């Protein structure tokens, strides 16, 4: 382990590999945040309370030119612009105290990527201890990435060749990530996630925007889904061991976590519905954009006046029970979490291999407390390829083909679970499935009850839905039965089917996969 070092010159102090407790206290003493009543440090991130996709770029060079799926998500930028801005950031750090740590991404040594993290804020460095894996040892220079976050350094679009006063640039050739003017900590973890998503597929490893846990018998379950669909909540199960809540890889060795901590949504957090997460937000944790009571400094999780995307970061050790190896075997169940605003999808359906590819590519769900800047008002429908389109640099078919490849190898069942609305559409007569109901459905999947269940096929969507589940009202299993008016259901169902068909036209896949999707009847 490298020694803890603080070096001081006339202009700045450089802190290396500081312990988490020291970083926590430094963040408080530097007034980067407030000490909340629950013991966590509470910070705010200004006007950007989510990711800024319009300010994210990838350097276009001989490595990325023909490998990246260029467009509005993966925006190209020149090496010259990157190099000039990197030099400006290095000059900025010479006159500002900053923090350096040697960390890594990926719990499987065969696929682990070392990363040196440099930040100008103590709480950002602490966040990276949780978002990544603490090693404190410099990695192989030929493999190590450098992430430099100059959060207080604003960019100038005219001078710097970017779009606003902030920028995030990934340079695969030089193994560098540069962030300027960005306080929202999720940008750092998702930048390294994008790196893994580019580097792993050529090695036959599927990078996944999913949570994972493992049962007492070693049975691994994967929970795919966008933010707000329930990945973190449902994977933090008192009866199972958490591997991780957000980013994983799937190789021939099994499933492994990319991270060393969790980054949970806090909006409307309650000790009754999410006890493990509630208990994890304590001394040493970071609360991001959570409103505090002015008198007691207690968190007001129900208050979304700053954002619906309030967050908490904490180490995996804060979750009990957790799976300490941080990786497991091959999955026994795959769960696609979708939040259906139309209220027409069933609470659970078993998917064929072709349907799995179709719904994986579609990534249908709702933006609930969006993680992106400018999308924080209301709940909206979205299709996010691979359940995480903003983080995947390669063409979507690369990831879909890898998913099918791994499913075929182990014959793993795949389920679609709706955590959204039932009995009516959002904003009309519908209500959202409560967490206890969804937990019962997840338990039926994991205890193999649904392996032997009787199924019927839904019209239009062609989904196999169980006719009965222990402890679940049969009325809600077939969504049309939960509506008072069948004609109203069919109207909304047709609207959703049309959305699926329109969205899927952009994919060039086999006829079998296209035919597995919904169709108008």
Q: Which helix (H) or strand (E) holds 88?
A: helix 79-94
Residue among 323, 157, 179, 161 nearest 240 (CA): 323
Rounded CA-CA distance 229/495 in Å is 21
Of 15, 48, 51, 56, the catalytic one is: 51
Of 48, 209, 322, 492, the catalytic one is: 209
SS3 content of the chain, % helix, strand, coil (to 5): 30, 25, 45
End-to-end CA distance of the chain: 64
Of 56, 176, 311, 350, the catalytic one is: 311
- In the residue annotation, 462 being an active-site residue is answered as no
- In the residue annotation, 209 being an active-site residue is answered as yes
Burial of 313 (0-12, 13-18, 19+ CB in 10 A): buried
- In the residue annotation, 47 being an active-site residue is answered as no
- In the residue annotation, 248 being an active-site residue is answered as no
Of 246, 338, 340, 385, the catalytic one is: 246
Residue 239 · residue 416 · CB < 8 Å = no
Residue recorded with tokens 């019927």: 456
Residue 257 · residue 243 · CB < 8 Å = yes
Of 98, 102, 231, 492, the catalytic one is: 231
Helix 353-362, helix 396-410: angle, nearest 10: 150
Of 119, 227, 338, 422, the catalytic one is: 227
Helix 353-362, helix 486-504: angle, nearest 10: 80
Of 102, 190, 332, 492, the catalytic one is: 190
Which residues share a beta bridge with 214? 220, 241
Of 119, 135, 232, 235, the catalytic one is: 232
SS3 463: coil
Residue recorded with tokens 């989510």: 50
422 torsion bin: left (phi>0), alpha (psi -120 to 50), beta (else): beta
Residue 178 preceded by cis peptide, ω within 30: no
Residues in the chain: 521
Which DSSP symbol is given to 239? T
Which residues share a beta bridge with 351? 414
Residue 104 · residue 128 · CB < 8 Å = no
Residue recorded with tokens 């009990």: 320
Burial of 520 (0-12, 13-18, 19+ CB in 10 A): exposed
- In the residue annotation, 190 being an active-site residue is answered as yes
Residues assigned a catalytic role: 51, 190, 209, 227, 231-232, 246, 311
């Amino acid at each position: 382990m490298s020694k803890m070092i603080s070096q001081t010159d006339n202009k700045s102090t450089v802190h290396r590999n500081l312990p988490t407790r020291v970083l926590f206290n430094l963040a408080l003493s530097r007034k980067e945040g407030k000490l909340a009543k629950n013991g966590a440090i509470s910070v705010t991130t200004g006007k950007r309370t989510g990711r800024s996709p319009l300010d994210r770029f990838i350097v276009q060079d001989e490595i990325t030119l023909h490998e990246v799926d260029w467009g509005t998500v993966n925006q190209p930028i020149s090496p010259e612009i990157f190099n000039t801005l990197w030099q400006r950031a290095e000059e900025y750090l010479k006159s500002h105290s900053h923090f350096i740590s040697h960390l890594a991404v990926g719990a499987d040594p065969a696929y682990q990527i070392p990363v040196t993290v440099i930040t100008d804020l103590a709480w950002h460095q602490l966040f990276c201890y949780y978002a990544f894996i603490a090693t404190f040892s410099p990695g192989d220079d030929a493999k190590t990435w450098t992430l430099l976050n100059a959060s207080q350094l604003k960019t100038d679009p005219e001078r710097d060749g970017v779009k606003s006063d902030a920028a995030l640039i990934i340079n695969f050739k030089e193994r560098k990530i540069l962030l300027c003017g960005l306080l929202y900590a999720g940008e750092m973890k998702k930048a390294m996630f994008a790196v893994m998503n580019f580097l792993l597929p050529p090695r036959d490893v599927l990078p996944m925007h999913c949570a994972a846990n493992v049962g007492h018998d070693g049975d691994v379950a994967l929970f795919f889904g966008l933010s707000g669909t329930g990945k973190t909540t449902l994977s933090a199960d008192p009866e199972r061991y958490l591997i991780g809540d957000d980013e994983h890889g799937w190789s021939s060795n099994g499933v492994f976590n990319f991270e060393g901590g969790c980054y949970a949504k806090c909006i409307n957090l309650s000790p009754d519905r999410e006890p493990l997460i509630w208990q994890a937000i304590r001394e040493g944790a970071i609360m991001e954009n959570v409103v505090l009571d002015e008198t007691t400094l207690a968190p007001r999780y129900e208050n979304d006046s700053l954002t619906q995307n309030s967050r908490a970061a904490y180490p995996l050790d804060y979750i009990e029970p957790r799976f300490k190896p941080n990786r497991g075997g091959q999955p026994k169940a795959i769960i696609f979490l979708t939040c259906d605003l139309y209220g027409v999808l069933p609470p659970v359906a078993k998917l064929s291999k072709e349907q799995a590819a179709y719904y994986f590519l579609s990534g249908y769900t709702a933006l609930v407390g969006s993680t992106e800047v400018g999308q924080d008002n209301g709940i909206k429908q979205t299709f996010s390829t691979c359940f995480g389109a903003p983080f995947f640099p390669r063409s979507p078919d690369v990831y879909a083909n890898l998913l099918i490849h791994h499913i075929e190898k182990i014959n793993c069942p795949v389920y679609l679970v709706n955590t959204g609305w039932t009995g009516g559409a959002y904003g009309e007569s519908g209500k959202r499935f409560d967490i206890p109901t969804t937990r019962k459905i997840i338990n039926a999947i994991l205890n193999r009850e649904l392996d032997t269940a009787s199924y019927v096929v839904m019209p239009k969507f062609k989904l196999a839905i169980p006719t009965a589940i222990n402890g679940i009202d049969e009325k809600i299993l077939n969504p049309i039965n939960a509506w008072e008016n069948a004609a109203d259901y069919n109207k909304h169902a047709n609207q959703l089917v049309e959305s699926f068909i329109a969205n899927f036209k952009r994919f060039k896949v086999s006829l079998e996969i296209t035919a597995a999707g919904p169709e108008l009847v």
